[in-house]
């Protein structure tokens, strides 16, 4: 298995509070991604990173920000959590050498509940 | 823009029966195609992918998928399923010129019954 960990694995928080999810990899892969998984929607890309301090938006980026200060860590922040952000969040990594054909490896997920 | 439609949200099937999970996509540019599998309470794993060449691709555990450009489809098949194949299956595409951003379908839950 690719060395990807996500923390926390479960979190319950209240509307309006800030939340930060962490993705950590030990593979030295260039690309990192944050997705959210919701029933009936599959997975949707929130943000991605193509290198340290290089990030870009995905299709559902509103309400989320990211940071990548080290190759191994990619943080996802909900500045002010809303109930619509209740979801399962997955981090993924890829080596990027082959570009879009690279396999993405997924972490175990973080289940976030916003009350 | 690209989109992916998985035509069945749930597919119940008996063990040792054949199965087909359907996937159609829409894109104005050439794409690469993927099938990922998610076992209960786990992350996603790559099952197989089509990049170029032979339109039939196979996985190590007996699944295969055929790229049909004229019908813009990438259906997943297995001639004989096992209980252990019970999982959610996701079809995904990425534009061939992109940085690997995947667009996923809604997912199909395969329920294999004894």
What is the signed CA dihedral for A2, A74, B46, B6, rounded to 10 degrees?
160
In this complex, do A106 and B49 lie within 8 Å of one another by their Cβ atoms? Answer: no
**Confidence check: pLDDT of B74 > 90:** yes
- Measure CB to CB from residue B99 to each of A35, A40, A50 and give the nearest one: A50
B43 chain-A contacts, CB cut-off 8 A? 4, 90, 106-109
Question: CA end-to-end span of chain B, whole Å?
Answer: 41
In this complex, do A42 and B4 lie within 8 Å of one another by their Cβ atoms? Answer: yes
Judge contact between A67 and A57, C-beta under 8 A: no
Residues of chain A with pLDDT under 50: none
Confidence (pLDDT) at A2: 66
A59 chain-B contacts, CB cut-off 8 A? 103
- Three-state DSSP at B114 gives coil
- Three-state DSSP at A48 gives strand
Give the pLDDT band (50/70/90) at residue B60.
Answer: confident
DSSP for B52-74 reads SS-SEEE-TTS-EEEEETTTTEE
DSSP for A7-19 reads E-SEEEE-TT--E
Judge contact between A72 and B68, C-beta under 8 A: no
Give dist(CA A102, CA B101) in Å, integer. 10
pLDDT tens sequence across A2-25: 699 999 999 999 999 999 999 999
Which stretches of chain B sit within 8 Å of chain A by CB? Answer: 4, 6, 9, 32, 36, 42-46, 49, 51, 90, 94-107
């Amino acid at each position: 298995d690719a060395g990807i960990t996500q923390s926390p694995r479960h979190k319950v928080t209240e509307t309006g509070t800030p939340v930060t999810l962490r993705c950590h990899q030990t593979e030295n892969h260039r690309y990192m991604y944050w997705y959210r998984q919701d029933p009936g929607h599959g997975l949707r890309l929130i943000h991605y990173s193509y290198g340290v301090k290089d990030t870009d938006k995905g299709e559902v980026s509103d309400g989320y920000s990211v940071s990548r200060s080290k190759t191994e860590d990619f943080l996802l922040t909900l500045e002010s959590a809303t109930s619509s952000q209740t979801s399962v969040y997955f981090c993924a990594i890829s080596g990027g050498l082959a570009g879009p054909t690279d396999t993405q490896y997924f972490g175990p997920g973080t289940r976030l509940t916003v009350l | 823009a690209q989109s992916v439609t998985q035509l069945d949200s749930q597919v119940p099937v008996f063990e040792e029966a054949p199965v087909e999970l359907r996937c159609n996509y829409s894109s104005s540019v050439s794409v690469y195609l993927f099938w990922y599998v998610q076992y209960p309470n786990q992350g996603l794993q790559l099952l197989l992918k089509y990049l170029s060449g032979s339109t039939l691709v196979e996985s190590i555990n007996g699944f295969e998928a055929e790229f049909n450009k004229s019908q813009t489809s990438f259906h997943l098949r297995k001639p004989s399923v096992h209980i252990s194949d019970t999982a959610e299956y996701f079809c995904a595409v990425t534009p061939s010129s992109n940085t690997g951003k995947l667009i996923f379908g809604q997912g199909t839950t395969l329920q294999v019954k004894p």
